[in-house]
Amino acid sequence: MGSTGVGAILFYCVALSTIAVGSAAPADNNGRFISKEALACSNITETSHRKLEGLPSGLCPVQFERMPGIKTVVNSCRPPQPSEQRCCGAFKAFACPYFDLINDNANNGCASQMFYDIIVRGRLSPGLFSYLCHDGAVGLNCGPAPA
Considering the chain, what is the average pLDDT of its residues?
A: 77
Q: Where are the domains of the chain?
A: 27-141
Please write the tens of the pLDDT for every residue from 73-113: 999 999 888 899 999 999 999 999 999 999 999 999 999 99
pLDDT at position 13: 33
Please write the tens of the pLDDT for every residue from 104-145: 999 999 999 999 999 988 899 999 999 999 888 889 999 887
Distance CA 100, CA 147 (A): 17
Instruction: Read off the pLDDT of each residue in 37-43 and give the average, rounded to a whole number.
Output: 92
pLDDT at position 118: 94
Q: Which of 97, 93, 100 is nearest to 133 (CA)?
A: 93
Instruction: Read off the pLDDT of each residue in 6-25 and give the average, rounded to a whole number.
Output: 38
Quickly state the pLDDT bin for 147 (edges 50, 70, 90): low
Report pTM. Answer: 0.71
Are the C-beta atoms of 130 and 36 separated by less than 8 Å? yes
pLDDT at position 46: 54
- Does the pLDDT value for residue 7 go beyond 50? no
